[in-house]
Chains A and B, each alone.
Chain A
Amino acid sequence: MTPAENFIKFLVKTIPSLSIWLPIKILFIIGLFLYFAFAVIIVRQVGLMGKTLDGEFNLPLKFFALVHLIISLGVFLLALFIL
């Protein structure tokens, strides 16, 4: 049997065992990682905005941005474990 034939045989054996959900899982993980980066940018943005206009309401906004960052990290880790 030639090496090419061996490779084809290997693919025929392996592909059916691969789940159709694998590419979706990869997409989810990449998407959630990018979302986490976006959440970091939001925290920085709130900081920049708060520096420009410093008022009473800045603290709750920073809190919301941080909670959003923590939740996005949580969802990313959850996706890594359960998918």
Chain B
Amino acid sequence: MTSQKRLITLIFYSCNLRTVPDIFIAKSESEKPGLEKPAETLKKELDEILAVGSRFFSAFVPKPRNLRFETQEKKEKIVLLLRRHPVTNVPWILLTIFLIFAPFFIKSLVSLDFIPGNYQLILFLCWYLLTFAFAFERFLTWFFNVNILTDERVIDVNFPTLLYREITETKIDKIQDVNIKTGGYIRSLFNFGDVLIQTAGAIPEICFEDVPDPQRVSQVINQLFYEEEQEKMEGRVK
């Protein structure tokens, strides 16, 4: 293309740009959905989502009382505490029941008379100690592997092995995307699944595994995000 032609094209476009109508006008921050609502309305909506609650010894605990976590700040409030759905405990509970009755089955099938009485007693006690340790360890893993939503942060506490813990956290305003993953016969039947939270922080993704009512969890996260944005706009950021 010659320089003369380029100049003509440039003049043509610059003239046209003045007359071309706007196809899309981006909304201002205050016009975005959710953000125009006052803080009180947002809080009411959040309370409505969390209306159906349950006790502390559960998998979906809105606003738990008398509960604190290690890195909690003074003014920080826990909005929601999540654990894996209780149905995920069924396999180990069934195995524990089997282990409790197994010595009686074995005794009825095989004669243990060749083992002296004192050895039988110790063997019996060892069996039940191991059964208790197995069940207790599984319960502890379920009870303390929690996901916490506060008014400021999202926290994932994991205890993968003995004496090892992993705490992942991100600020609410760093959340970029929330995905829900459900599927399969049992998950659909009992309404539980994974909630994947993508963040703009150092940890790209936080996963809440097998949490009850993932749809509601996602709504809570969105609501907290809107509240945080509202706080930023009003200059109330903590």
Contacts and interface: CB of A to CB of B under 8 A. Distances in A.
A57 B133 contact: no
A78 interface: yes
Contact of B163 (A44, A55, A61, A68): A44
A68 B133 contact: yes
Nearest to B144: A49
Given A48-B163, A68-B132, A61 B140 contact: yes
Interface in B103-158: 116, 118-119, 121-122, 125-126, 129-130, 132-133, 136-137, 140, 143-144, 146, 157
A6 interface: no
B67 A54 contact: yes
A28 B122 contact: yes
B118 A56 contact: no
A72 B57 CA distance: 28
Contacts of A51: 70
- Please classify the interface of chain A as helix (H, G, I), strand (E, B), loop, or mixed, using the class held by over half of its residues: helix
A32 B127 CA distance: 11
B138 to A, nearest CB: 12
A75 B125 contact: yes
B123 to A, nearest CB: 8
Contact of A45 (B116, B157, B162): B162
Nearest to A28: B122
Given A46-B140, A55-B56, A78 B163 contact: no
Contacts of A46: 140
B68 interface: yes
B152 to A, nearest CB: 17
Given A42-B136, A78-B122, A54 B68 contact: yes
Interface string B54-73: 00110000001011111000
B18 interface: no
Contact of A52 (B70, B122, B136): B70
A78 B125 contact: yes
A32 B140 contact: no
B165 interface: yes
B56 A57 contact: yes
30 contacts: A24-B119, A28-B122, A28-B126, A35-B126, A35-B129, A35-B133, A41-B162, A42-B133, A42-B136, A42-B137, A45-B159, A45-B162, A45-B163, A49-B140, A49-B143, A52-B144, A53-B70, A54-B68, A54-B69, A56-B66, A57-B143, A61-B143, A68-B133, A75-B122, A75-B125, A75-B126, A75-B129, A79-B122, A82-B122, A83-B119
Given A52-B157, A52-B167, 18 more contacts: A21-B116, A45-B140, A45-B159, A45-B163, A49-B144, A52-B69, A53-B67, A53-B69, A53-B70, A56-B67, A57-B56, A61-B140, A61-B143, A68-B129, A68-B133, A75-B129, A82-B118, A83-B122
